[in-house]
Amino acid sequence: MPESNSSDPNEVARPSSSRRDPDLLRARLADWLPTVLDSPPTINRLEIPSANGMSSETIVLDVEWEGRNHPLVARLAPLTDSDPVFARYDLDRQFRIIGHIADTTDVAVPRLFWSEPDSTPLGAPFFVMARVDGEVPPDVMPYTFGSWVSEATAEQRSRLTETTVETLARIHAAPVPKESLDLPGPGETPLRAHIRRTREFYDWAASGRAGSPLIERGFAWVDEHFPHETDAVLTWGDARIGNVIYRDFTPAAVLDWEMAAYGPRELDVAWLIFLHRFFQDLAELAGMPGLPDFLRRDDVAQIYHRLSGHEPRDLDFYTTYAALIHAVVMYRIQSRAIHFGQASEPEDTDDMIMHRATLEAMMNGTYWQAIR
């Protein structure tokens, strides 16, 4: 598979080199577009970005119809022979959830055009939405290593924090689209169901492989420290600034809804906090200052409380659970790297988890004390 050979750990197993043929995609889209448009379209541009996402694939389009050019983005499910990060991809579900957010809140999301659940036209299900201009905090290299975020003023980063947390609060205030979410089974609470699905993801990722003792201990820790649940809401799931297009340090579009779920709002609040700490810890390990005063746990919790009226609870539990979820994702990503010859199988499978020290410290109750 033509993947990046970069030694950058953030690049390992990233499906950045597409297997799809742009010319074939253009021809197939030219056949499909007339089925959803009343006037003949012209595809003026079709590009597959060199650095694509970790799961779904992005196609950049400019399509003209009725005398007007439309900047678009198509999100496609990955090809099965690319050994996808997740076991299943429901692009139509994402489309419905984005549409629900657009219809019921003032959260900034891209304008939606079409969803095609049939894999026949392009070889995989896909949906099409408007392209939104703006800036996205980079993952590679992480924004904590030097970026428009780190070069901003403290006041600008404060505005980014405030508007991002406000966006979370607005998402959580939306009506719950239960028909589009995986709901708890009989006798399950929403959080128990969420943990069960995380465990199922790990069991799938570890099938036929040596598992991770650290992840196993993480699931035991979660069971032992299970909190009192707050009310369940629609959660974004992948609530991090790298999934937001910003203009003037304010969200112009919230992206990537494939992890959307039904559960306590602390899932999103903790994910926002933890994912920044993940990148901040990487910067500090590299001997860089990073952004230690940005998206601090207490600041995020206080802002969320002020804007939503809900005081986040049990953040020690939820940030540790966020670190566990991310550990499962990293384990899966590193498994892909080993599968494609980008990395060697380590003697200690816990070394497949870049933030193993963080997860261990969180379970030991020493991580946040050291940060403070």
Neighbour-count burial for 174-187, b at 16+ CB within 10 Å, e otherwise: beebeebbbebeee
Place of tokens 């033509």: 2
**Catalytic one of 238, 268, 281, 314:** 238
Same fold, 22-130 and 174-240+255-371: no
Question: Are 125 and 116 contacting, i.e. CB atoms less than 8 angstroms apart?
Answer: yes
pLDDT in tens, 233-286: 999 999 999 999 999 999 999 999 999 999 999 999 999 999 999 999 999 999
Whether the bond between 129 and the residue before it is cis, its omega within 30 degrees of 0, is no
Question: Are 321 and 270 contacting, i.e. CB atoms less than 8 angstroms apart?
Answer: yes
pTM: 0.93
Residue 297: name the closest of 279, 316, 310 by CA: 316
pLDDT value for 84: 76
**Active site includes 238?**
yes
In sequence order, what DSSP letters do the residues of 310-349 get, joined into one string? -----HHHHHHHHHHHHHHHHHHHHHHHHHTTSSPPPSSG
CA distance 22 to 27: 9
> Given a cut of 60, is residue 12 above it in pLDDT?
no
Question: Are 359 and 214 contacting, i.e. CB atoms less than 8 angstroms apart?
Answer: yes
pLDDT in tens, 69-81: 999 999 999 877 6
Comparing 16-25, 198-207, 345-354, the range with the smallest average pLDDT is 16-25
In sequence order, what DSSP letters do the residues of 8-48 get, joined into one string? -TTTTT---S--S-HHHHHHHHHHHGGGT-SS--EEEEEE-
Domain layout of the chain by residue ranges: 22-130, 174-240+255-371
User: Mean pLDDT throughout 110-131?
Assistant: 96
Question: Are 89 and 125 contacting, i.e. CB atoms less than 8 angstroms apart?
Answer: yes
Q: Which fold has domain 174-240+255-371?
A: Aminoglycoside 3'-phosphotransferase; Chain: A, domain 2 (3.90.1200)
Query: CATH number of 22-130: 3.90.1150.10, 3.30.1320.10, 3.40.50.2000, 3.30.200.20?
Result: 3.30.200.20
Residue 267: name the closest of 227, 307, 213, 303 by CA: 227
